Amino acid sequence: MTLAIKGKVWKFGDNVDTDVIIPARYLNTSDPIELAKHCMEDADPRFAAKVEKGDIIVGGRNFGCGSSREHAPIAIKAAGVSCVIAESFARIFFRNALNTGMPILESPEAARRIEAGDVVEVLVGEGLIRNLSRGEEYKAAPFPEFMQRIVDCGGLINYVRERIRNES
């Protein structure tokens, strides 16, 4: 499956934690629209108001470290962000993104070379990242087959639903 995404880049540093992505003070709801209003608030209070549909977040090392709150990828997705590219991801965030169908790509080269405001095109299935502003291309590590199957199902719940159907 080739999913092509194109958008303007918001760049963040290393160790972007889940408290910054969605502060716990807003976790008394899991409504995606409510969560999106406060996405990245403690790193950049203007983010939620200014981010446009399709924009891309680029982070450094250990993106999404901290809590297990699935509200983090939910908030990012509901804010309109189409994809997160990082040098590396914290493991729970990585699982949560995969399980909820939020496209993520791990590429140290892309994370270093891409600057804020660059326009980037991503072929998620191929793991190919094109920086249209700089005329560069970067490769992301492909998902192992099992993980790709979850992505192809559109997330873990669809995968489970299929299994329930097959077993009954």
**Interacting residues toward another protein by CB under 8 A:** 15, 17, 19-20, 23-25, 27-30, 41-43, 61-62, 65-71, 74, 88, 90-92, 95-96, 99-100, 144, 146-147, 155-157, 159-161, 163-165
Cβ atoms of 129 and 138 closer than 8 Å: yes
Phi/psi of residue 23, nearest 5 degrees? -55, 145
Distance CA 141, CA 128 (A): 9
For another protein, which is the closer residue by CB, 54 or 142?
Answer: 142
Contacts of 17 (CB under 8 A, 6+ apart): 64, 65, 66, 67
- Beta bridge mates, 56: 9, 83
Altogether, the residues listed in the chain come to a count of 168
For another protein, which is the closer residue by CB, 68 or 132?
Answer: 68
CB of 136 to another protein, least distance (A): 26
For another protein, which is the closer residue by CB, 39 or 120?
Answer: 39
Cβ atoms of 60 and 35 closer than 8 Å: no
Distance CA 22, CA 115 (A): 23
Distance CA 77, CA 50 (A): 15
Cβ atoms of 100 and 117 closer than 8 Å: no
For another protein, which is the closer residue by CB, 137 or 162?
Answer: 162
